[in-house]
Amino acid sequence: MTDVLVVAELTEGQPRKTTLAAVTFAKQVAEGTGGAFDILAIGEGAEGAAGALTQYGARKVLHSEVGGGYVSETFAATVAKAADGYGVVAACASSYGKDLLPRVAAKIDAGVASDISSVEVDGSDLLYTRPMYAGNVFGTLKITTDVQVVTVRQSEFDPAPEAGSSSPVEAFAAEDGGEAASKIEVLSLEVVKSERPELTEADVVVSGGRSLKSAENFENVLEPLVDALNAAMGASRAAVDAGYVPNDLQVGQTGKVVAPKLYIAVGISGAIQHLAGMKGSKTIVAINKDREAPIAQVADYFLVADLFDAVPEMTKEVEKLKAQG
């Protein structure tokens, strides 16, 4: 029997959708081993966030109010304290989870499985699969420590649905982060506001590559299609490095991993590093003049065309369909 503690990720006092991927993982482990799972909401507004997490089947939802913004030393100490009695501590493999959970593992002397894509219950063992070498190889690993720390890839675990029952909520006292935490002060948090969906949570993503040639073309050619589809906008690393768009839009091995229902790649050749971040998408459409571009190997639909002709035409057709209701 293995009990799992899910560490929720909060933004402005609300749980992020990324947390629900970790909840799905926790349910799989708990059901496969005869255990249970709990959720820990930690940070500013944790009590309100805990209330929003009571509908997903957890045995209980803990909340630990920690003011002053995200300070990993304080958060890690609190999660490490809360981990007592659990066999697995899990979070989404977002920048938050990747920063926080290895620190937790160090404090409790636990092994780590990072960015896993699946889990299998094999008797008393948990076997984790994770992508390596930009997703070209998948490794299976087992953690042998008493407590296991795991971060899960959001694109590989569907968001947990509501379970129809309400979990009890309990307060959990925050732990002092010690001398290291006392030397850190969060001055401000700047959240980028956008009317478009969050890139990692969108059902439709339209990404542009270096072939768009300029920031102005991203704005004038690509953005109308993005908005017509009510999509999130992404970009290849080459486009980001060229300064066409900010780096928070980068999709790929060193950017964000996405798995929308529809991914449209415009002027992206499809280097291994980019494919690692989007090849889990349900339907992939690529527009490229080069019919031999690597992205053709993963695309469900491949349009050999000049993007400067094809994208405006596609935008017009989408807007026509929307107008027809």
For the chain, which domains are there? 4-182 (3.40.50.620), 199-323 (3.40.50.1220)
What are the tokens at 101?
């959970």
Q: What's the rounded Cα separation, in Å, for the pair 264 and 307?
A: 12
| Number of other residues whose CB lies within 10 A of the CB of residue 246 | 11
Cβ-Cβ contacts under 8 Å for 182 (sequence gap 6 or more): none
Q: Which portions of the chain are predicted below pLDDT 50?
A: none
Looking at the DSSP bridge assignments, the partners of residue 90 are: 6, 150
Q: What pLDDT score was predicted for residue 164?
A: 79
Q: What pLDDT score was predicted for residue 91?
A: 97
Q: What DSSP character marks residue 285?
A: E
Q: What's the rounded Cα separation, in Å, for the pair 155 and 322?
A: 28
List the alpha helices (DSSP H) in 218-282.
223-228, 237-241, 272-275
Q: What pLDDT score was predicted for residue 98?
A: 94
Closest CA to 28 of 168, 164, 150: 150
Measured between its terminal Cα atoms, the distance across the chain in Å is 52
Q: What's the rounded Cα separation, in Å, for the pair 102 and 149?
A: 8
- Tens-place pLDDT, residues 260-285: 999 999 999 998 889 989 988 999 99
Q: What pLDDT score was predicted for residue 108?
A: 96
Q: What's the rounded Cα separation, in Å, for the pair 123 and 51?
A: 35
Q: What pLDDT score was predicted for residue 185?
A: 83
